[in-house]
Amino acid sequence: MSYQVLARKWRPQLFSQLVGQQHVVKALTNALEREQLHHAYLFTGTRGVGKTTLARIFAKSLNCEKGISATPCGVCDACREIDEGRFVDLLEVDAASRTKVDQTRELLENVPYAPVRGRYKVYLIDEVHMFSASSFNALLKTLEEPPPHVKFILATTDPQKVPVTVLSRCLQFNLKRLSREQIESQLRHILQQEKILHDELSLSLLARGADGSMRDGLSLLDQAIAFGGGEVKGSDVSVMIGTIGADQIYLLLEALAKSDGQGVMSLVAEMAERAADFSNALQELLAMLHQIGMLQIVTQYEPDEAYDPQRLRGIAQAISPEDVQLYYQIVLLGQKELDLAPDPRSGFEMVLLRLLAFRPDQPEAVPSESGGSQAKSRGIPSDNPADRKRADVKTAVQPANNPSATDPSDWGGFVNAMDLGGITSQLAHNCTFDSWDGKTLRLTLDASMKQLRVGQSEKRLLESIKRILGREMKLLITEAVPENETPAMRQKRQRQERQKEAESAMMNDPLVREMEERFSARLLTDSVRPVDDPGG
């Protein structure tokens, strides 16, 4: 007997065997038990979540020889023929292969005729969004007023492409993507029934690789069984689908927190030796940054069980919340641009280099023991209390000699005196001073930049102001169109002025003018940068 793939062998035969679609099962079960049956149904959802399976079970419920029921017997001729795909009154149509209107009309010609074997003639049209506009128009009249012995079941992964005139004639059910836990539980059940040795890590990796699709999960499981020679091991699955172990991502983030570029590149080399999928690596990095961000912002948050909570908390202390948010954006952008890179590894390395280079408003570099200089970094917290005490003394804010450093009314100078970074710095630079009565500082935030009030940025700004002023106080920020120029606006204006001066100086430079006249050249102003601009 030929081998039957798991996706077909374990295809649900009853509503009760479906995984994760209880909301649809409940509605259809109630309709069948009360025999309140609509003439057209539309099942939508991503691939592999049970649209076609649900349609076949529904067709079996309608045509079971023991009567209309939500629990068809499964042993009568009609049930067995539907299970085997040879029931003459269940017409399964792939819309992608019948896009022409003539083919649709040919299909509908047999609608008026009574069913041959069953109670109902059921038309199951898969991927219905692939029909042409003319095909949809040909279907409309029949779909609106079909004969009483006909039921239409439409299935699609892209309901937005189905005309609203068709949608309005159907009962629509949206099938959900399956959760990792649901897929993992079903895979565990199948492996136990098949008596195949496996470990929990393999189930977790397969469920993650399935990406919400049970069919994809079962296909991956078939592949894993073949790859492991009859066993399913986490190490084999990781190699098979090119996933990166959580330990590698922990090490990457710990190295990034320490600004250890050499360590980061060594880890990339190890990943390349294991033939890792760098796209998956970015996905895993995003998932872990999400967990870290949740730990930092949401009180009493418990990380996903797939991660080591203690190690996650250590990284969450080592990287500021602002940096975590911006790291996430950098990795997300890198993931989108990975296909544009010369090769996946170089694209992945460039993302990590951006993370290493990103140090907003860094404190002044300090000499290192090796004789070079390095930026001050939070790094992984030391377990030595004496080291932590010394670090606290080093980072204490020293009183500034500049009078504006303690006068909030000179908001631009006051902001420059504060040691801010990331989103907190952007928040401060986009505010203007309103009032200060010794107890409450009132600021106005440019309303177009209200997105900067995220996470703990406002709280960190308040803490920085308290350290500068040396007193307890309150901070009130309102959002409005600023009447005065914010520090960010001032910096932008000054940059534009310097840019214009630089362009003017270049255009009036005798050497440049001579080259323009002699070679009919033209100065590209986009290439001109002021001498103090780091982009030049």
CATH (one of 1.20.272.10, 1.10.260.40, 3.40.50.300, 3.40.630.10) for 246-357: 1.20.272.10
Token pair for residue 261? 């570029």
Task: Give the count of alpha carbons within 13 A of 33, CB side only.
Answer: 8
Of 101-105, 123-127, 357-361, 433-437, give the lowest mean pLDDT range: 357-361
In degrees rounded to 5, what are phi and psi of residue 437?
-105, 15
Q: What is the pLDDT of residues 124-172, one digit of tens each?
A: 999 999 998 888 888 888 888 889 999 999 999 999 999 999 999 999 9
Residue 80 has pLDDT above 60, yes or no: yes
User: pLDDT at position 309, please?
Assistant: 85
CATH code that applies to domain 411-484: 3.30.300.150
Number of CB atoms found within 10 A of residue 50's CB: 27
CATH (one of 3.40.50.300, 3.40.630.30, 1.20.1260.10, 1.10.10.10) for 6-174: 3.40.50.300
Mean pLDDT of 83-111: 87
Q: What is the pLDDT of residues 187-236, one digit of tens each?
A: 999 999 999 999 988 898 899 888 899 999 999 999 999 998 889 988 88
| Coil vs helix vs strand at 446 | strand
Mean per-residue pLDDT over the chain, rounded = 84
Which is higher by pLDDT, 64 or 379?
Answer: 64
Confidence of residue 530 (pLDDT cuts 50, 70, 90): confident
User: pLDDT at position 103, please?
Assistant: 83
Residues facing 125 on adjacent strands = 93, 154
Topology at the third CATH level for domain 180-241: Helicase, Ruva Protein; domain 3 (1.10.8)
User: pLDDT at position 519, please?
Assistant: 67
User: pLDDT at position 389, please?
Assistant: 41
Residue 51 has pLDDT above 80, yes or no: yes
Report the alpha-carbon distance of residue 121 to residue 127 in Å, rounded.
Answer: 19
Report the alpha-carbon distance of residue 39 to residue 376 in Å, rounded.
Answer: 69
Number of CB atoms found within 10 A of residue 329's CB: 10
